[in-house]
Amino acid sequence: MENNKITHILVGVDDSADALTAFQYAMHRAKEEQCKLTIVSILENDDMNIFQALDKDYVHGQRADLEKHIEKYRQLALDAGIKQVNAVVAEGDPGDTIVHDVIPAVEPDLLIVGAKSKQGISKHFGSQAAYMAKYAPISVLVVR
């Protein structure tokens, strides 16, 4: 972030209502501030049973489906007029993976996430957004 100006936004998506609102806000802000937008979605291992998790073909199929799905978000952002848009798919616990793997890899200035997630046990406790807000090395905007 140069001179406290946001130049790169990372937004997490999982198809929950809050994540869709976060995505819309991130697109608006990226377009308004003419900054780069990276969209991330996490393939959660706890959504698979043990047999699925051990089956490499199943995991690769799930990942391929998620990559196709996140490409739709990327195309929406490009269609909205955002010039630099990337999409990232990672695996693991969403909060931990975004904080410890995705943020260091893509180096955004701002993380925008929804308050509630669609998947996993975290949808009941809101712990993913709280975890990211507490531990992310960058500013975090939580959207409802």
Summarised one tens digit per residue, pLDDT across range 26-38 is 999 999 999 999 9
In a domain, 97, yes or no: yes
Cβ–Cβ contacts within 10 Å for residue 32, how many? Answer: 8
In a domain, 110, yes or no: yes
Supply the pLDDT for residue 96.
94
In a domain, 43, yes or no: yes
Type of residue numbered 65:
D
Between β-strands 110-114 and 8-12, what pairing exists: parallel, antiparallel or unpaired?
parallel
Contact 107, 137 (CB under 8 A): no
pLDDT band per the 50, 70, 90 thresholds, residue 4: confident
Burial code of 120-133, b = ≥16 C-beta within 10 A, e = fewer? bebeeeebbbebbb
If one counts the domains in the chain, the total is 1
69-81 mean pLDDT: 97
Supply the pLDDT for residue 50.
47
pLDDT (tens digit, 9 = 90+) per residue, 11-25?
999 988 999 999 999
Q: Angle 17-32/56-79 helices, nearest 10 degrees?
A: 40
In a domain, 15, yes or no: no
In a domain, 7, yes or no: no
Between β-strands 139-143 and 36-43, what pairing exists: parallel, antiparallel or unpaired?
unpaired
For the cut 80, the answer to whether the pLDDT of residue 53 exceeds it is no
Give the pTM. 0.85
In a domain, 121, yes or no: yes
Supply the pLDDT for residue 141.
96
Mean pLDDT taken over the chain = 85
pLDDT band per the 50, 70, 90 thresholds, residue 8: very high
Strands of 139-143's sheet, edge to edge?
85-91, 36-43, 8-12, 110-114, 139-143
In a domain, 2, yes or no: no
Supply the pLDDT for residue 122.
43
Range of the domain at 85: 25-143
In a domain, 18, yes or no: no
Q: What is the CATH number of the domain that holds 64?
A: 3.40.50.620
Supply the pLDDT for residue 97.
95
